Amino acid sequence: MHSINPIGIIHSELKRLEDCPKQENEGAPAATVEIYPAFAEAAKDIKPGDRIILLTWLHQSKRDTMVTRPRDNKNAKLTGVFSTRSPDRPNPIGLHISVVHSVKDNILKVAEIEVLDGTPVIDIKPYLER
């Protein structure tokens, strides 16, 4: 098995899990993606206005959760995590579509994203509309 190595880190005003909205369109703040110098060349063609997919490692998630109540609704039925957007899951990979506001060296300022400060970034991909 191979390991996953972070390529950067998120800097956000969200410091605690309870501060995080469920989705980016529910009041998430803009954030900064710091790409580690060893990977800066891989991001050289990202520019303001680009839509990107950020893959993150939700490092404070519970990895032993198999079922959850969607949106923490106590009245919802228990649902397998693979049918939800819950951050608590065996491999807590976050998927975030965002817009790049600015680029300076290895720092990307991005639109609203619902992740904690210090969240590792494991990959960046372009978002391609169909």
Residue 3 in domain: no
Q: Is it the case that residue 23 has pLDDT exceeding 70?
A: no
Residue 98 in domain: yes
Residue 50's pLDDT is what?
Answer: 97
Give dist(CA 88, CA 84) in Å, integer: 10
Give dist(CA 17, CA 121) in Å, integer: 17
Rounded CA Rg of the chain: 15
Residue 1 in domain: no
Residue 72 in domain: yes
Residue 2 in domain: no
* CATH (domain of 93): 2.40.30.70
Query: Can you tell me the mean pLDDT for 43-53?
Result: 97
Q: 109 lies in which domain range?
A: 8-126
Q: Is it the case that residue 8 has pLDDT exceeding 80?
A: yes
Residue 26's pLDDT is what?
Answer: 60
Q: How many domains does the chain have?
A: 1
Q: Is it the case that residue 41 has pLDDT exceeding 90?
A: yes
Look at the block and give the residue holding tokens 């995080």.
Answer: 20
Nearest CA-CA partner of 109 in 21, 29, 24: 29
Residue 114 in domain: yes
Give dist(CA 110, CA 43) in Å, integer: 14
Give dist(CA 54, CA 33) in Å, integer: 9
DSSP string, 70-92: GGG-TTSPPEEGGGS--S-SSS-
Give dist(CA 39, CA 111) in Å, integer: 21
Residue 88's pLDDT is what?
Answer: 86
